[in-house]
Structures are given as C-alpha cells and as structure tokens.
Structure 1
Amino acid sequence: MTQKQTFFSIVIPTYNRPERLATCLGAIAHLNYPRDRFEVIVVDDGSDTPMEPVVAPFRQQLDITLITQSNAGPATARNKGVAKAKGEFLVFTDDDCTPDPDWLKALADHFTTAPDSLIGGLAINALPDNLFSTASQLLIDYLYDYYNTDPNQATFFASNNFALAKETFHQLGGFDTTFPLAAGEDREWCDRWLHNGYQMIYAPQAKVYHSHHLTLKRFWRQHFNYGRGAFHFHQLRAKRNLDKMKVEPFSFYLDLLTYPFSKPSKQPSLLLAILFCLSQVANVAGFFWERSTQTTTAKRQLSQTACD
C-alpha cells in the first residue's frame, strides 16, 4: 500500500503587496506535491486594496482560502490563518517569497522521521542586484550560521520558511500577538518552542526565494523595527526564564561585521560591511526607542492608577 502524503496547510500573511502575492501563489501552484494534500490560506492584514482579484485566478488550481482582517500585524494574521487550517502540519511563508518546486516534499521527508520537530528551511535572496536586499538577507544568513551550527539542534528560524505540527502550535498558544510588527515574533516563537523541550531541525533542502525590495530608507526602517522587536523579545524571555535581560556576547557582533568578507556576492563586500554596521546602529536605536516608549507608558499608567 502506498504511504499517504502529508497534509499541509500553507499560511501566508499579506499586506499591500498584490504583485508579490501573485508571484508567490504562482510558485505554489507549480509545487511538486499532490494538489489534494495541501491547502493555501492567505490572510489579508488590512491591505488598502482588496486581495480577492489576486487570489481568484488560482482557485481552480489550488485549494485556497482568503481571510481578511483589520491591520493587526503578521503574528495575528498567522494565528487567524491557523484557526481555519485543516492540515496536520502548518507551513509558514511570506507573500514576497516563492517556494522551490520541491519545498513541501523536502519538509515532508523530515516530518516522516521527526513529526514533533520545528523544521526550518533556507531563504535565498532573489534580488542579488539590490544592494540593500542582499545585505538584509546576508544578515539572516549570518544568524542561521550562528544559531544553527548543528542542523539537528537549531535555535532560530525566520517565519518566512518553517513548518510544524498544528497540534503543537495550538498547545504552545500560537504566535505572540503583542508583537505588532514583523520583527521578533518568529524569534520569540523559536525560544518558546525550545523552552518547552521541542527540537528544531534546519533543512536547507526546503528552499524559498525571498524578493524583499529595499531602499536605504526601507533598510533603516526594517532594522530599526528589528531593534524594537528585539527589546520586546528579550523582555519576554527574561520574564519566562525569571532572569535578567541578556543580549548576545561581543564576539557575536564582531563576527557579524566581518561576515560579508567571507561570503561571495555580486555586491562589494565593503559596502555590505558598511550596511551591516548601519543595521546595528538602527537596531540599537530601535531597541532603546522601544525601551523608552514602554517605560514612559508604564509610568503614565502608574500615574493614572494612583490618581484613580
């Protein structure tokens, strides 16, 4: 008897990127995986224009559901998508990613031997001619090299390419919706996953191509928001572990700044290194901005409580 294929629910949050979403869905429509063994759930996070015209052409090719919500961030959007999921396993990606044809097959192969694990795939920069997009993806590559040295004991995956059992997702409470931005919620999820004793496995065979077009302004804003998310993450982790807030050691940052010189790229290594420096300045600025904002808010609430 032929073994039944794994049933996946692919969850895609989207916001104001109809062209990217169409490209993403087009790639999913060409996956080398049985059509009756996966579904696609698109969650429109309050886009300015309706996404139904983007989704409609794919309804004859895919089992696809479109959900709309008021803008609340990708964490909330993913949780809402999971609430409608019928699959045994959940797969998360973003609207600016195009999966490799063997994406689901590679994930399914890992679940046959590790069904209780969080499986993270590889994201490849699809815009090598864009300096800022290249630098941004190279930063993620560094994090993967740093945190996932042993593929069977990985500790960090970005939410644009990972998969897990739906039952475990519900048991752990889903993504933390106190993260309003696309910054830090995936890191917090991985930390919570490990805190509860589950395994993370890095599977670079499960590939997506990431087309995140960036300018200097967008690059700064992206990493400023990462800093904001990092503060919130460290705050939550410290509370969970009943410990002081901790950040990475100095060697982490030293190795990060020299990383562009160790990797081949179409872009000049020196320019990439300068952008790495800029990303860390933006990250620190966002970190302390978020800390200041939360401190001010807490003081205001305490003052209002005292007056009451």
Structure 2
Amino acid sequence: MTNPDISIMVCTYNRAGMLRDALRSLYDLQTAGEFTYEVLVVDNNSSDDTPAAIAAAATESTSTLRCVRETKPGVAAARNRGVREARGEWIAFFDDDQIADPNWLLELRRGASEHNSRVVGGAVHLLLPENCTRDLHPFCRMLLGESRWSETPQPYDDHINPGAGNLLVEKSVFAEVGVFNEALRRGEDTDLYRRTRAAGMAAWYLPKAIIHHMTPDLRLEDAYLHKLSRSMGEGVNDYEWNDRGPLVATAIWLAKAARAVGLYWPKLQWACVTGNHEAAVGLRCQLVLSAGHFWQGWARLRQRLSGPRTKVPTTAVASRPLA
C-alpha cells in the first residue's frame, strides 16, 4: 500500500493483555472510503509478552499494522519515535488501554476538515468492569481519564485541553511547534497543546469521536485513585510556578490550601456522617490532590527562600493524569 493518510500511533509498555483488545478495536475502523490508515505500535522496551501480542495482531489485522521498539523510557520518548516513524500526513494518538468506537477515526478526520483544524480531540468514556454498580464521583471519573466536555463540538481553551489518548494532529504541526517534551514525566500532551495554542492553532473537541477507557477493578481502589490525585496536585503546582511565576503561584497555593481546609474537609465529614460513600471517596481524592499541591508548593517556596542550593524536581505539566 502507498503511504496512508493517517497513522494511528499506539505507545505501549508492559500491558500485553490490554494491548490485544486495544489493537483488535483498530482492525476495521470505518473510513467511508475517505481515507486510508495504518496502525503503528511503539513498544517502549516492554519486558512482558508484548512483542508476541503485536505479532499476533499483525497477522489478524485487515489494515496495515507495524511495530517499532523504542528503548528510551518514557511515553514522551515513545511518542516522539512514533512521530518520526509515522507515514501518514496525520497522526492519531491512541493508548494501549482503550477500545475505539468503530466511527472514532472517521469522526476525528471529518471534524478536522469541517472546522479547518490541524488539532482535534474526542471524548473518553470509562469502560467499567461488568460487575461494577458504583456511581463514581465526578472527580474520580476525571482522575480515571473520562472527558465528556460537551454534547456538541467546541474549541478547546485554557481550561479544557485534549489528551493524547484521543487526539488527531497534522504531522506538519510538529515541525512548527516541536515534538513532545521528554523532560516531563507526564503532562507532555498538555505542554504540546499549549504550544499549538500559542502558535495560533485552534483545536476542537468532537464528542462523537469516542474511545472507551478500560478501567479494571484495580484502578477503582482507593490507593490507585490517591496516587493519581497526589501526582496531579504536584503537576498543577509545577505548572503554576513555571507558567505564572512565584508571586501568583504562591497566592494560588495559599488559596487552594484554604479551600481544602475550609471546604473539602467539612464536606468529607458530612459525607461520612450521612453515609454517602462515593462522595466521601471523591472528596478524599480532592484532599489528597490538595496535599500533593501543598507539599510541592512548600518545597518550591523553600527553594525560593533558600536560594539555588536546593533544587525541586519538576514532576509534570498540569494535566489529566494517565489512568
């Protein structure tokens, strides 16, 4: 086949089981004859049976499926390798723990054309275990990766940004704004979006371009949710210091600490008294996020007061955590 119109990039690391289902959902996507696509898997040096899963998928798929191996650790490095290897004029980013709706890619490509946009993203719905009857708190759903911002297409803005699990980008964009920042442990997709926005590129959210995020029981446990919450709090604080400066960041830091003590803590106590379990879980996560934000801000402030002798590592750019 000649070079495809779109390269679907799937970066993966030690998730062979989930990867099999993710790739199966990409075998026969709807195109309405409007474009061609390939699936490019970037194996980020997995140590499980990921290579065997990819090889099996390559024999099963009706579309072109190929693999490259990136030994440098980190999702940003894997994505950058995929950008270099992609043969399509457009790159669709897709994660190894997702299931694509059959019309997912068609909706992204049509939306890009309709809105004359070089960057578009879609909706992320949670795929909960079959036996799950929980009515998850909205904050927990956000932590687990859900993004259902609107029922109609709308441009992204400073507060709502696309994630790299459901994103279509014209490949030429990377030549203009640069590739993913490999110095960031997470939030590299938000960092890229901010650079495209600064370059005057309007990005659009398309609610009908749907992927389903696999959410096994392990990810519903409190310990997992708290880990995501703390990491996100640290990342938000880093963004505030790096992007808004020490004075504004310190003011925000104090305000958010006061909100945690004056709002989240009393609401948590009330949820516990009234037996509202899911509200209590969500509020505890908000408090854990606030704690991560507070202690990262405290470390930043100490660094500021003590001079350059103490270095505080940047954990992330503020973003939805990868669940």
TM interval, short-chain normalised: 0.7 to 0.9
Structure 1 CA distance for aligned equivalents of residues 81 and 121 of structure 2: 21
Percent identity over the alignment is 23
- Partner SS state of residue 175, structure 1: coil
2:106 maps to 1:137: no
Match of 2:155 in 1: 153
1:163-213: CA deviation from partner (whole Å, max 9, x where unpaired): 1111013311122222213xx222322222222211121101100011133
What amino acid sits opposite 1:24 in the alignment? A
Structure 2 CA distance for aligned equivalents of residues 77 and 153 of structure 1: 28
1:267-306: CA deviation from partner (whole Å, max 9, x where unpaired): xx9433222212222222333444456678899994499x
What amino acid sits opposite 1:103 in the alignment? W
What amino acid sits opposite 2:185 in the alignment? P
1:232-271: CA deviation from partner (whole Å, max 9, x where unpaired): 33334336xx994486998xx89x98xxxxxxxxxxx943
Structure 2 CA distance for aligned equivalents of residues 43 and 296 of structure 1: 40
Q: Is the 8 A contact 1:15 1:44 kept in 2?
A: yes
Runs of 4+ aligned structure 1 residues displaced above 6 Å come to 140-143, 294-301
TM-score by length of 1: 0.76
Structure 2 CA distance for aligned equivalents of residues 243 and 164 of structure 1: 35
Distance apart, 1:45 and its partner CA: 2.4
Query: Cα gap change, 1:270/1:164 in structure 2, threshold over 3 Å: closer, same or farther?
Result: farther
Match of 1:221 in 2: 227
Match of 2:269 in 1: none
- Partner SS state of residue 122, structure 2: strand
Distance apart, 1:97 and its partner CA: 0.5
Residues paired across the two proteins, number: 281
Match of 1:69 in 2: 70
* Aligned pair partner of 2:194 in 151, 168, 191: 191
Query: Cα gap change, 1:290/1:66 in structure 2, threshold over 3 Å: closer, same or farther?
Result: farther
Match of 1:82 in 2: 83
- Partner SS state of residue 229, structure 1: helix
2:169 maps to 1:175: no
Match of 1:266 in 2: none
Match of 1:54 in 2: 53
Distance apart, 1:222 and its partner CA: 1.5
* Aligned pair partner of 1:283 in 278, 282, 289: 289
Distance apart, 1:122 and its partner CA: 0.7
2:243 maps to 1:237: yes
Gaps of 5+ in 2: 265-274, 312-323
Structure 2 CA distance for aligned equivalents of residues 83 and 274 of structure 1: 45
Match of 2:318 in 1: none
Gaps of 5+ in 1: 258-268
What amino acid sits opposite 2:27 in the alignment? A
- How do 1:81-120 residues align onto structure 2 when only pairs under 5 Å count? 81-120=82-121
Structure 2 CA distance for aligned equivalents of residues 87 and 293 of structure 1: 44
* Aligned pair partner of 1:274 in 271, 280, 283: 280
Query: Cα gap change, 1:143/1:57 in structure 2, threshold over 3 Å: closer, same or farther?
Result: closer
Q: Is the 8 A contact 2:14 2:46 kept in 1?
A: yes
TM-score by length of 2: 0.73
Q: Is the 8 A contact 1:188 1:233 kept in 2?
A: no
